[in-house]
Copies of this chain bind each other. A is one copy, B any other.
Amino acid sequence: MSKIAADPSHPRYQSLLMRHRLEEAEKKGMLAGSALIAHGRGEAFDYLLGEQTIPSALIATQQALALLSSANHPVISLNGNVVALAGKEVLHLAHQLKCPVEINIFYRTPERMEALLGHLNEIKLREELDVEILGAEPDARIPGLEGPRANCSKRGIFDSDVILVPLEDGDRCEALVAMGKTVLVIDLNPLSRTARMASVTIVDELSRVITNMNKMLLSDKVAQPGDNYQNAQCIQEALTHIATFLSSEG
């Protein structure tokens, strides 16, 4: 890690820390070839948000957490970038929520699955967390998807009623919605198909979102899901925020 990234007071500390985590994950074979490009796209949108949690994202985060907390079968779906960027934070969240996590990756190879499972189990042991880690032995399929990317666990993603899928692609988000699930996504691009398809769209950077959720749970600040929550309005506010940022900087 560079000297800059080792200093938490540096204005770009968080951003450089995330890059460092991706580099480490790549060395371990956890990432797909498209992982770094996808991360760069996220960086650009986060830059346009001012690298901060905007008010509408906090509202969406609260709603998502409320839905997870009151679900019958909540689950958190993890891909390579999520494990790399916020593996520890996500396992703490799952521990607090008493819900399983499931590794569900687009480009599935035995090597990548092993690297991801190994990394998560290492964190689980070190942090002394009680979390079931699914995904190693898929025994069900998500209808409407082709090939290995449809694979999932019956008692994880398949049977879930509420699912948090950070950094998900549009096809899978759509397929999960079509299964009747409440789909909660974290996506820095407010215009993406994933953002538009989801039940709750958190337009914010992954590690900030999970940290916010963990803090809310620790401080017992989890409400009931709001009946008046308007996802389209949260997305619109993110767009307006970016447009205002562009005007003010221009």
Q: Which residue of B lies closest to A23 (CB)?
A: B33
From A40-48, A65-73, A114-122, A150-158, give the one contacting chain B.
A40-48
Given contacts A36-B40, A40-B40, contact A239 B247 (CB under 8 A): yes
Residue of B nearest to A19 (CB): B37
Copy tally for this chain in the complex stands at 2
Q: Which residue of B lies closest to A250 (CB)?
A: B239
Q: Which residue of B lies closest to A242 (CB)?
A: B246
B191 pairs with A44, CB closer than 8 A = no
A218 at the interface (CB under 8 A from B): no
CB-contacts of A214-250 with B (<8 A) = 235-236, 239-240, 242-243, 246-247, 249-250
Contacts A41-B41, A43-B40 known; A191 to B33 CB distance under 8 Å?
A: no
- Cβ-defined partner of A239 (8 Å) among B36, B37, B38, B246: B246
Q: In this assembly, does A189 line the interface, its C-beta being within 8 Å of a C-beta of chain B?
A: yes
How long is the Cα–Cα vector from A189 to B45 in the complex, in angstroms? Answer: 11
Give bound CA distance, A129 to B90, whole Å.
54
Does A39 sit at the interface, judged by CB under 8 A? yes
A46 to B191, CA, bound (A): 13
Measured CB to CB, the nearest residue on chain B to A37 is: B40
- The binding surface of chain A is classed by DSSP as helix
A235 contact set on B, CB distance < 8 A = 250
**In the complex, are the beta carbons of B249 and A191 less than 8 A apart?**
yes
Nearest opposing residue in chain B for A43, CB measure: B41
Residues of B contacting A190 in the complex (Cβ-Cβ under 8 angstroms): 250
Interface residues of A (CB under 8 A from B): 19, 22-23, 33-34, 36-45, 47, 189-191, 235-236, 239-240, 242-243, 246-247, 249-250
Q: List 15 interface pairs A-B (beta carbons < 8 Å), by A numbering.
A: A19-B34, A22-B37, A36-B36, A37-B37, A38-B40, A40-B41, A41-B47, A42-B44, A43-B44, A44-B45, A44-B189, A190-B250, A239-B246, A243-B243, A246-B246
The 8 closest A-B pairs by CB, nearest first: A40-B40, A44-B44, A36-B36, A37-B40, A239-B250, A41-B44, A243-B243, A40-B41
Can you add 13 more A-B contacts, CB < 8 Å, to A37-B37, A240-B250? A22-B37, A36-B40, A37-B39, A37-B40, A38-B40, A40-B41, A40-B44, A41-B43, A43-B44, A47-B189, A191-B250, A239-B246, A239-B249
